Amino acid sequence: MKTKTTVRKDRERRELTIERTVEMPAQLAWEGWTQPMHIVRWWGPKGWTTTVYEMDVRPGGAWRYSLQADDGSGETAYCRAAYDEVEAPSRLVYTDRFADSEWKIVSDSEMHTTVSFEAQSGGTKISIVTRFASSDQLDNAEAMGMIEGFTDAYDRLEDYLETLQGGKDSMETVISKDGTKIAYVKQGTGPALILISSAAADHQDAEPLAERLSGHFTVYNYDRRGRGRSADTAPYDTVREVEDIEALIAAAGGQASLFGSSSGAVLALEAANRLADSIAKVYLFEPPFIVSDSRKPVPGGYVDQLNSLVEAGKRSEAVEYFASEALGIPEEYIGYMKADPSWNKMELLAHTLAYDGMIMGTAQSGNPLPAGRWEHSAPTLILTGENSEPFLHEAARALVELLPRATAHSLAGQDHSAVIMAPEAVAQAVVDFER
């Protein structure tokens, strides 16, 4: 059910404020607002089609679009905007103006717009504040149906966002102990298996693996809190993520196996330790422990630095810091990563990178794994790619020594990308262990 749109008009400040809370996390709402392929699906009033000619979402970038009534009535409206501030996924400031068909600006048509995305319990409050050049222009905009147009746009946005990243009909939800809504896709038949994603990933990254496992398991492929269609609640604590998994296990009937990838494997370990009686088996793909000097350790102030960068709106810099310090990627390769579309998605998830840093704790310092931190007795399979870096193989061996029922297995010809690039090989190893 859609929430009510709130409208406030301030003639003295020449501002019109139109707000609504949508049942979506902030980063998903941001994506729907800032990518051409998405915004054409909802922007403008009902019965109108939006065409985007340019959308360069960065300070100084341009947004050129047109609006045309679907019934062909009236003239096409052309608009040309310039972005002033871009702070993903929380704030967008731009100046919009009407233009002619050759993109020449119409005089005295300036509208200064600030869009904010504020995460709240149960969703995101989107506020659109438009400041006009004069109070007369404000009155004219209201008389011409601007409020109704934005209300229609909110309706269309909310409907469209429900189709993104799984859609309303294909994603179910559970409520975690602190009230946070966690979204998941359930597929397949057999014993329950919960997929726990790595840093900078959501349920979409594990879809190929989930598909291949669904012939043997009932797979619960979920968005970790703060990602995709799952909500988030501050302050963060690793225990809250374990409670999210506990809620999924309850939805699965009270017992499930866990599959965790990279830092998600360490979260799986934490969950198995705390929820021992409800965990059947544990599958871990390359937990990224650094237990020797075979790789540079992660800096001691890593989490604080990530949070500082995100709070300053430097989300790309936060991803770069994660890539260089946590993943150990050489600087000369990061430029190639930035050119890949996946970089934009990692920017959207940048605020969750510190979560994974907190999950890892001191286990990437180059010291031996702490005795007694993980003591669960569920059968555990630790997978590594044959071609992965030596420190990941060392991590697997160290973990086998700590856990009473752990087995290590190397995947021939694979590396750290196998969950996404070779889901058949990963799934087969899991199925074989289950048998």
pLDDT digits (tens, 9 = 90+) for 244-290: 999 999 999 999 999 999 999 999 999 999 999 999 999 999 999 99
How high is the pLDDT of residue 197?
98
Beta strands 218-222 and 406-411: pairing type?
unpaired
Question: Is pLDDT of 42 > 90?
Answer: no
How high is the pLDDT of residue 1?
46
Q: Read off the pLDDT band of 390 (50, 70, 90).
A: very high
Q: Using alpha carbons only, give the angle 286, 292, 293 rounded to the nearest 5 degrees.
A: 115
Closest by alpha carbon to 141, among 34, 7, 341?
Answer: 7
Query: What are the strands of the beta sheet with 123-132, ordered from one edge?
Result: 6-10, 15-22, 123-132, 111-120, 91-99, 77-87, 62-69, 48-55
How high is the pLDDT of residue 148?
84
How high is the pLDDT of residue 47?
81
How high is the pLDDT of residue 274?
96
Question: Is pLDDT of 122 > 80?
Answer: no
CA atoms within 13 A on the CB side of 200: 19
How high is the pLDDT of residue 372?
83
How high is the pLDDT of residue 152?
83
What digits encode the pLDDT tens for the residues 297-345? 999 999 999 999 988 888 889 999 999 999 999 989 998 898 887 888 8
Would the CA dihedral through 55, 58, 61, 63 be positive or negative? positive
Q: Read off the pLDDT band of 37 (50, 70, 90).
A: confident
Burial of 194 (0-12, 13-18, 19+ CB in 10 A): buried
SS3 at position 16? strand
Q: What percent of the chain has pLDDT over 90?
A: 67
Tokens of 338: 């930035």
Question: Is pLDDT of 166 > 50?
Answer: no
Question: Is pLDDT of 169 > 80?
Answer: no
Closest by alpha carbon to 310, among 352, 278, 276?
Answer: 352
* Mean per-residue pLDDT over the chain, rounded: 91
C-alpha 287: how far from chain center: 21
Question: Is pLDDT of 121 > 70?
Answer: no
Distance between CA 170 and CA 164 in Å, rounded? Answer: 10
Kind and range of the H or E element at 175? Answer: strand 172-175
Tokens 């370990």 locate to 269
How high is the pLDDT of residue 3?
63
In eight-state DSSP terms, residue 424 is: H
